[in-house]
């Protein structure tokens, strides 16, 4: 579902609504109604609180397990699902990702996110996907 919005001063809203009506080709009403409902219904807020809590728990469980392998975060985020980590020694993130992939573990090497391709010693981990012990077993075996 796709729904755009504009944040604007109140005095602009009436003119912007006129412009939208004049230039719109229909559609969008259902998406806007769904988004409005999601944002104003208390269920969405509760859902997001649950997601934030689960991600915080996943981060707190993942960080020490990575640390045992010598993998350290570049910084420890206060929220979100990703950890940007430096690999120990001179491990190549691309080579590590390939070794792990051969064991059924998919990882995201740093250069996949670097336009200048200077993140070969970094890996991005999704904490929401790090609960299975196999991931850490494969990582431990794959590190050089």
How does 92-110 read in b/e, with b if 16+ C-beta sit within 10 Å? bbeebbebbeeeebebbbb
CA-nearest of 90, 92, 78 to 123 is 92
CA distance 114 to 116: 5
Q: Is 131 helix (H, G, I), strand (E, B) or coil?
A: coil
The per-residue pLDDT for range 27-63, each reduced to its tens digit, is 678 888 888 888 788 888 899 999 999 999 999 999 9
Packing angle, helices 133-142 and 93-101, rounded to 10:
120
Tell me the per-residue pLDDT of 105-125, one tens digit each, with 9 for 90 and over. Answer: 999 999 999 999 999 999 999
Give the predicted TM-score (pTM) of the model: 0.75
pLDDT the model gives residue 27: 61
Domains annotated on the chain, with CATH:
10-40 (no CATH), 56-142 (3.90.1150.10)
Give pLDDT, residue 24.
Answer: 72
């Amino acid at each position: 579902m796709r729904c755009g919005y504009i944040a604007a001063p109140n005095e602009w809203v009436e003119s912007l609504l006129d412009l939208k009506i004049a230039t719109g080709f229909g559609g969008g009403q259902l998406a806007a109604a769904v988004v409005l409902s999601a944002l104003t219904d208390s269920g969405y807020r509760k859902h997001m609180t649950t997601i934030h809590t689960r991600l915080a728990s996943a981060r707190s469980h993942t960080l020490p397990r990575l640390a045992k392998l010598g993998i350290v975060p570049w910084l420890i985020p206060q929220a979100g699902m990703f950890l940007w980590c430096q690999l120990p020694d001179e491990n190549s993130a691309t080579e590590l990702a390939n070794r792990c992939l051969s064991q059924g573990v998919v990882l995201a090497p740093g250069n996949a996110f670097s336009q200048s391709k200077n993140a070969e010693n970094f890996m991005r981990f999704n904490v929401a996907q790090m609960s299975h012990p196999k991931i850490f077993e494969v990582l431990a075996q794959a590190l050089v």
